[in-house]
């Protein structure tokens, strides 16, 4: 039987954050077996590692209950914390389908934290027809969007549609057409929608529907957090190294905190957080 660890990422509370499955040695598992295990675990993603001949270097694949994705941030954080607890903190390298992802782990007073560095990120305006289709499936009106924040498709390993809500109340009231949004996203290759409302210049509230993975909503999405960094950089809002805290999962009772570091001169984005053992 395959040993599956269970962690909640971007939190120190097992009842918070985004649950992820972690298989530290998936040697010998084929695609069908990994997909079956991920479906049985039922979390947004389960990470499967195959160790390499080099120490602290792994091939990593990520499966949702329905599909494989090229990169998953919260499962990366969960996996890195699990490895740090087993092998001690330090540097890791994850070879993902999106590209190599370095991860640094530390332990302070018993709390293990991990920081991933994304693949080169980018962001570009979303076509108007695509935005209209997404809004219809979300059951949002065009004036639910804040005109100060243009709709973009941002990428830091996988693509996300980024939409700025006009109010915190609009963001909190998420009741979308699951099948319709899944179809819109599949047609365009989006992994999640990054819906956001900035509380201030340092803190942003976000929500991420993930119907293409069979999940209504992610309580924490590290890949989208990195992509959000690319979005801000493309808008010219990162003129010096900038740190943000993204609050996610609050409206679904699983509060998460994702720390995002963006450098105007580096297309990669750093995303960090803790993870707690479930059970």
What CATH architecture is 5-117?
Roll (3.10)
**Cβ-based burial of 175 (10 A; exposed 0-12, middle 13-18, buried ≥19):** exposed
Q: What is the pLDDT of residue 170?
A: 98
Q: What is the pLDDT of residue 100?
A: 98
Chain CA centroid to CA 164, Å: 17
122-267 topology per CATH? Diaminopimelate Epimerase; Chain A, domain 1 (3.10.310)
**Cβ-based burial of 200 (10 A; exposed 0-12, middle 13-18, buried ≥19):** exposed
Q: What is the pLDDT of residue 239?
A: 97
Domain range list for the chain: 5-117, 122-267
Percent helix, strand and coil across the chain, each to the nearest 5: 25, 40, 35
**Mean pLDDT in consecutive groups of 10 residues from the start of the chain, 279 residues:** 94 97 97 97 97 95 96 98 97 98 94 97 98 98 98 98 98 97 98 97 97 95 98 98 98 97 97 96
The whole-model pTM stands at 0.96
Give yes or no on whether 5-117 and 122-267 have one common fold: yes
Q: What is the pLDDT of residue 110?
A: 86
Q: Are 141 and 129 in contact (CB under 8 A)?
A: no
Residues with catalytic roles: 45
């Amino acid at each position: 039987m395959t040993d599956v660890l269970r962690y909640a990422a971007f939190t120190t509370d097992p009842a918070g954050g985004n649950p992820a499955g972690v298989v530290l040695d998936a040697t010998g598992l084929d695609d069908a077996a990994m997909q079956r295990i991920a479906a049985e675990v039922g979390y947004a993603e389960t990470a499967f590692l195959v160790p390499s001949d080099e120490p602290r270097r792994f091939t990593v694949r990520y499966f949702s209950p329905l599909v494989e994705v090229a990169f998953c941030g919260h499962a990366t954080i969960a996996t890195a914390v699990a490895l740090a607890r087993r092998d001690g903190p330090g540097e890791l390298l994850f070879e993902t389908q999106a590209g190599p992802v370095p991860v640094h782990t530390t332990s302070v007073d018993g709390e293990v934290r991990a920081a991933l560095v994304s693949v080169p990120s980018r962001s570009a305006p979303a076509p108007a027809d695509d935005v209209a289709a997404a809004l219809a499936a979300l059951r949002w009106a065009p004036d639910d969007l804040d005109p100060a924040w243009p709709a973009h498709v941002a990428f830091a390993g996988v693509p996300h549609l980024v939409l700025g809500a006009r109010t915190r109340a609009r963001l909190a009231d998420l009741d979308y057409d699951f099948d319709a949004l899944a179809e819109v996203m599949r047609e365009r290759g989006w992994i999640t929608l990054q819906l956001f409302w900035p509380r201030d210049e340092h803190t942003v509230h976000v929500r991420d529907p993930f119907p293409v993975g069979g999940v209504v909503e992610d309580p924490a999405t590290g890949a989208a957090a990195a992509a959000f960094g690319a979005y801000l950089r493309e808008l010219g809002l990162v003129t010096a190294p900038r740190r943000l805290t993204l609050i996610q999962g609050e409206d679904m009772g699983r509060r998460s905190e994702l720390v995002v570091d963006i450098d105007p001169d580096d297309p990669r984005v750093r995303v960090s957080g803790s993870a707690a053992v479930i059970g």
